[in-house]
Structure 1
């Protein structure tokens, strides 16, 4: 099983394979093309590796990391069979898919805690509030240099150096909605990358770093970086992101479900149908292996039923949502 920490060379190779998969018409029937979220990437890549082993090379699966938004752009143009997403599909993406005749099946595959991360030398910030994070990241703060002491007088006058995913990322969308209060609304003067490993390296290097990305990358890089607790707006408790706190719903508002979207037409090809079935049967095991939170067995059963019945569309309304617990997700899945 490949670990979450993937070299930039490997990521470049993956992106290249995805591209070639799109233009090699002679092999299209045996190539499954996937792109999208860098957060969901480790799960899908793990499933792809296991599936290709099981098929003994008869089917090739390429997995790209264009970000959730970038992945949906390709998906809604009919360029990919499956889109990895760290948030539900949005109205404008739904409209684009409809315009191009792309029908899809939405399948939840795991749960993730979006982590706020600092440098290991940061021994002062152990817990932050949504209000503190908003002050630093809101669009109105563009161009302003913050010091840690600006957020708490007990903290040192150390300049804050920001890093996070780019604007095509579902993590970007989710964080801005949960923290700033409006999706895609954030200051733009920070180190941005769709490759979470670049963000890990920045946080590891910069003493004043304040970054955000998926929990799996924190789990994989323990000791190199440090996640801090977030004060739950409802309970007032400072909660660290972990497999247990995300699953229990204590870690809010930065917990979220992860998805794959399957092009319904692609399911006319037996290898795509077989891959999705394999994915749903192995998502719990592989999610856990690469540092994510498996959904309850009932959620996977509901997802399998939806897939078997070819239920199209989304259980979400095309609007950004935050703080959705596992129980709430299950209720929505059961209604459809």
Structure 2
């Protein structure tokens, strides 16, 4: 009996010790406490020096975790488990997260640096009055091309992709909205079109582009273009900027018919435990000098209008990545199409890829 009693006492003591150790580990990893902040962002999407500066300025320890897709990020937040205080989803994902009640409304009174954001990028359809999100980076979908591989030929329109001289010279990013968008925009339709006849028409037109398509690829597109494995590529402006930095022969254009205007915004997920710290972090990133430093490191376009004065002139004057208001008016933000319509986009895109095979 005494042996049994000692066993249970030992078990209770061991359990108590493990619980204590676990609670200390959680606190040190940012899972609880006012002195920690867990940030969930895309990989290599912030200047590490800014995290150190924020920690020094506020005394808050930052735990930085990364995701590689909006869908993976949403699933992780929906499951709970980790108390993410700040996340950086894309615009259409923000609409989904609001609908699923995964976000906490922002207190704008705690975001004094919000005035620095360009008004063009505020109060957009995916988050009216920026109730749940604040712009972090923005960009476009367009065409990277290598004039030296095209006998000096320039590209200005989606229709230029159908030039017979581009046979087996085009790389497409592996994205249903982006590729279907080429077909839709070239026909004068909206990137958010849900008319089945229009979508089928766009797919059929894309099939006629196939002789010019060399491959449908992922993130490696910037490397392939920089290495001159193909003369033309459909990709995001950030990827284009990186490719150009590695090959000065490359150029980038947003087609004159229009294209996609994308955003990655900072939000506070429902999992947040340090809401005050989350507001401090967002406001810190909105400081013009911090935003400028971040934009130079990441290479994407900053929505922070006041940050531009602290950035190299060659960056902010580059109309390829900081297009004029006249052009941005022609650009469309992806809307949440709903499961049914998105599934149809994916179905048509899959058929298109099978057609390529």
Matching residue of 1:51: 54
TM (norm. structure 1) is: 0.53
Tell me which of 145, 155, 164 is aligned to 1:127: 155
Q: Which structure has the bigger radius of gyration?
A: 2
Unaligned 5+ residue runs, structure 2?
Answer: 1-24, 106-131, 185-190, 194-198, 207-212, 308-326, 334-357
Quick one: distance in 1 between partners of 2:286 and 2:270? 16
Please state whether the residue corresponding to 1:88 is helix, strand or coil.
Answer: helix
Could you list the per-position Cα deviations for residues 13-45 of structure 1 after superposition, in whole angstroms to 9, with x for gaps in the alignment? Answer: xxxxxxxxxxx624223553333556xx53475
Question: Counterparts of 1:1-336 in structure 2 under 5 Å?
Answer: 25-27=26-28, 28-29=31-32, 31-37=36-42, 42-43=45-46, 47-52=50-55, 54=57, 58-78=60-80, 79=82, 80-89=84-93, 92-95=96-99, 97-98=100-101, 102-104=103-105, 105-118=132-145, 121-124=148-151, 125-132=153-160, 151-153=162-164, 155=165, 157=167, 159-164=168-173, 166-167=174-175, 173=177, 175-176=178-179, 178-181=181-184, 190-193=215-218, 196=219, 198-220=220-242, 221-224=244-247, 226-233=250-257, 252-263=258-269, 266=272, 268-282=274-288, 284-290=291-297, 291-295=299-303, 297=305, 325=329
The 1:106/1:222 distance shift into structure 2, 3 A limit, reads: same
- Kept in 2, the 8 Å contact 1:111–1:293? The answer is yes
Could you list the per-position Cα deviations for residues 152-182 of structure 1 after superposition, in whole angstroms to 9, with x for gaps in the alignment? Answer: 24x264x135242x55xxxx64x34642435
Q: Shift of the alpha carbon at 1:263?
A: 1.8
- Kept in 2, the 8 Å contact 1:161–1:206? The answer is no
RMSD over equivalenced CA pairs, Å:
4.3
TM (norm. structure 2) is: 0.50
The 1:208/1:218 distance shift into structure 2, 3 A limit, reads: closer
Quick one: distance in 2 between partners of 1:328 and 1:294? 18
Unaligned 5+ residue runs, structure 1?
Answer: 1-23, 134-150, 234-251, 300-322, 330-336
Q: Which region of structure 1 is more displaced relative to structure 2, 181-190 or 119-128?
A: 181-190
Please state whether the residue corresponding to 1:231 is helix, strand or coil.
Answer: coil
- Kept in 2, the 8 Å contact 1:120–1:223? The answer is no
